[in-house]
Structure formats: C-alpha cells, structure tokens
Amino acid sequence: MTDAIFQTLEKEFLLSKQQLEPIVNGFNQEYKTGLKTPSKGLATMIPSFVTKMPTGNETGSFLSLDLGGTNLRVAAVELKGAGKASVHELKRRPSVELKTGEGSVFFDWIADAINELITVEAKHLFSEAQVQGKEALSLGVCWSFPVDQTGVDRGTILRMGKGFTLQNTEGNDLADMFHDAFSRKGLNVKVTAILNDTVGTLVAHGYTNPACRIGLIFATGINAAYPEKIQNITKLDQSIRDKYPVNTEMLINTEIDIFGTDAYLPLNKYDIELDLSHNQPKFQLYEKMLSGAYMGELTRLAAMDFIKAGVLFEGQVPEGFGEAWSFPTMYMSTLENDDDPKRAKSLEVLSNFNCVNTPTVSDIAILTRICRIVSTRSASLAAVSIISLLDQQALLDNKDNEIVVGINGSTYEFYPHMDLRVRRALDEWYGKEISARINLEVASEGGSVGGALIAMLCQ
C-alpha cells in the first residue's frame, strides 16, 4: 500500500522534461512581455540602470547598506582586487517604534549607524579625510522594499510593507531621504546606487568571476537578474535608450518570483491547497511551488494523506501537525541530513509534535522520502529559471563561451543535496555534455559586496 501511495505522490511532484517544457516556454514569453510593460506597481523585468559589471580588479573601500524586513546591515567593504573582498559589518534591528514612526527619525537612526561604522568599527579602512568628512564616501543601498526606480541612484519610495509604516516617506525620493539625514548628522556620504539584492548578487559574483551572466537567489523566495541589451528594454523611453552606446547591457531584476500562471504551471492538489491557505492566493504561484518558505507546508500536506491512509504514525495525526504551516522547511532539512541509524535528530524534530506513539524508523523513512520528493521538484523548478535565462541570452549558441551562474541563498546552499539536484535537473534537460558547460557557483551576498561594487561602478 505504501508503494502505491508513493507512486501517486511521485506522479504529482516529479516533473519530466516534457512537463517542464511549457514552464520554460511560458517564462521565455514573460521575459519578452516584461521588457515592454512599464514597471509600475507590481512589475517584472525591472531595469536597474546599472550598465557596468566589475572586472575583478577593482580596489578601494566603499559603503553598502542592506535593509530587509528584520535587520539593517551597514558594511564597509574593502575591495582588494583579484576578485577578493573583506566585509566589516554592523547589524542593527529597528524597534517597532522606529518602523512605525516618523520617516526622518528612521533615516537619522540609519545615519547614526553609518557614522559609527566610519568613525569606530571600520575606521582603519578609510582615509583621515574620509573619516573627518572632508572627502565623500560612496554608498550602495540595497532596499528590499518597493521603489519606482528612475535612475541608478534615484527612486520613489512606495508603500513598504513587512511591518514598516514610516510617516512622510511614501512618494519621496529615497536618495533625498538619505542625504537629508546625512546632512543633519554631518556625514559626507553620497548614495551612488540603489539596488535590488538579486542585481547585487550578480555584480558581487561578477567580481569573483567576470564570466557570470546570471545572479540567482534561491532561499525563502526565488529571484534572478541578468544583463539585457538596452535596445531590447522597450519599456524604457527611446530618449533614455538613445543615451547609451549600441549593445550596452543593463542589469535586469526579473522578479521571477511572480512569473507563472495556472495556465502553464503544473499545480498539483497540494499546491492548490497551500495557495488557498495563504493570505495572498493566486500570487507568486511559481515561488510557492519551490522556495524555502513553502516546501515544509507542501511536505506536511502530503504527509497528511499518508497518515489518513494509515501508513504513517499509525494513522494518528500528531498534535499540532494538522495545523497549517506547522512543519517548516528546516525540519525537512534535518530529516534529509540525518544519517544516524537511530535517527536521533529526526526524532528531536518530531518531538515538536505530540505523537500518540514514538515515531518508528519506518515513520521517519516515509517522511524523509516525502521530503526528498518535494525538494527534488523544487530543484527542477529552480532549474527552469536558469534554463529560461540561458535561452533569453542565447548563451548556449556560442559553443566556446564559459557559462557561469552565481547562486546565493539558504535553500540552495544549505538544504541537503539541493545543489546536486539542480545540477541533475540541468543534466536531464540538456544532456550531460552541454550541461557540463554551465558552472553553478555559490555567490557572495549581494547586499554587502554587490552594494559596494555598484556604489563604486556608478560613482
């Protein structure tokens, strides 16, 4: 009976090349549509206005700032050349009062952190003139919130979300808000670039390996960036495109997380059930099928069918396991990583639920196999992003070029065997001979090194 249920589950999750093909074709069309559709509101294919990639030989000390939903990180990045960099970072967590208060107070708080970095924590990296404010320092800002970007260093702040309701900021230019705070605090710092973390990842890995043509983040969510010829970005006014030399490339933040519709995504019953329980149904359907935020819930939903069939946990739902979102992806990671014959770590994970009887080795093996099936589909779907971006750039047309994909993110880097599964998906799509030309490399974090590099390249 167990074998029959697994066969059904594998039919739901494991995707052949023929099943992946409509997704790749759908994505290829979404790139073309996004390049001509204005980037207002919820948009894909967002121009970064970054038109330079590093050579790997850049040197100097630059500032970067990365603001996410939880933490502020400001960093002094020392570019040493030869693709090497060192990062001196200062991390702060904004209080609820700061996140919901007056915008100018929040930006002053950021300015204070930057001042501490320059004058205390990383003082040794800067010249005396820079520390004293007689010489300007360049800052790259990785702003993980919606911005209507109008230039590499300009962008209108949109509604932020993630618990931020800053007063008197929406509709203002982000760089102006920073510069006003720097002025109030007596800092000679200039925002020379506003960037998305995926663009930062591409640039950061381009410093390590100048052959990099795709920056992919595969973590709680998924996103990708790549260089596109400006003449193809028809959403930009002709007057803007005409400013650049022919064949200039601009880095594009694809926002691939919002690609995909139920017209061509092979949603199974678990995907549909998860989507219905989400506070934003029908949104980010592709991301919900594969990323770290969702794999655990897909596994839990599948496991519930095994419990109902009486082949898992003696048919008894452990207390708490029946609640939506109660089985996070990190539990899957523990199960797949547990090679102890007694499965002690797996039992520890399952102790978070009140099982009627202690889970058996067979229970753990079944649950682990479910994890493996769910995560294998995640790898195949992540490979779709890579395959379609290779198509978009026609990178395989030249049989001699080196193809490098810089990948950053917890799901790719730390989930057991995920890197090997993504590689296997590419092997199955292209055949091993062609797939061997595609180098998947772990990328430096884009918010720090990428932010500093873009600040330098655009100053």
- For the cut 90, the answer to whether the pLDDT of residue 161 exceeds it is no
The encoded tokens of residue 252 equal: 């594009």
Cα(418)–Cα(376) distance, integer angstroms: 8
Predicted local confidence at residue 399, as pLDDT: 81
Q: Regarding the domain delimited by 59-195, which CATH topology (the fold level of the hierarchy) does it fall under? A: Nucleotidyltransferase; domain 5 (3.30.420)
Average pLDDT over the chain reads 93
Query: Do the beta carbons of residue 447 and residue 88 sit within 8 Å?
Result: no
Kindly give, in sequence order, each residue whose CB lies less than 8 Å from that of residue 340, ignoring residues fewer than 6 positions away: none
Q: What is the DSSP string of 181-209?
A: HHHHTT--EEEEEEE-HHHHHHHHHHHH-
- What value does the mean pLDDT take over residues 266-286? 94
Q: What is the percentage of the chain residues whose pLDDT exceeds 90?
A: 85
Amino acid at 11: K
Tens digits of residue pLDDT in 88-106 = 999 999 999 999 999 999 9
Packed helices 361-393 and 418-430: angle between N→C axes, nearest 10 degrees: 50
Q: Regarding the domain delimited by 1-48+199-444, which CATH topology (the fold level of the hierarchy) does it fall under? A: Hexokinase; domain 1 (3.40.367)
Beta bridge partners of 87: 77
Predicted local confidence at residue 280, as pLDDT: 86
Query: Do the beta carbons of residue 196 and residue 48 sit within 8 Å?
Result: yes
Work out the number of other CB atoms within 10 angstroms of the CB of residue 389: 24
Query: Do the beta carbons of residue 418 and residue 378 sit within 8 Å?
Result: yes
Task: Give CATH 3.30.420.40 domain extents, the chain.
Answer: 59-195
Query: Do the beta carbons of residue 74 and residue 114 sit within 8 Å?
Result: yes
Predicted local confidence at residue 69, as pLDDT: 78
Amino acid at 308: K
- For the cut 80, the answer to whether the pLDDT of residue 402 exceeds it is yes
Query: Do the beta carbons of residue 69 and residue 89 sit within 8 Å?
Result: no
Confidence of residue 41 (pLDDT cuts 50, 70, 90): low
- Output b/e per residue, 9-28; b: 16+ Cβ within 10 A: beebbebeeeebeebbebbe
State the maximum Cα–Cα separation within the chain, in Å, rounded to a whole number. Answer: 76
Cα(402)–Cα(48) distance, integer angstroms: 25
Query: Do the beta carbons of residue 62 and residue 272 sit within 8 Å?
Result: no
Tens digits of residue pLDDT in 342-386 = 899 999 999 999 988 899 999 999 999 999 999 999 999 999 999
Predicted local confidence at residue 400, as pLDDT: 79
Predicted local confidence at residue 303, as pLDDT: 97
Predicted local confidence at residue 164, as pLDDT: 87
Task: Give CATH 3.40.367.20 domain extents, the chain.
Answer: 1-48+199-444
Tens digits of residue pLDDT in 78-89 = 999 999 999 999
Amino acid at 391: D
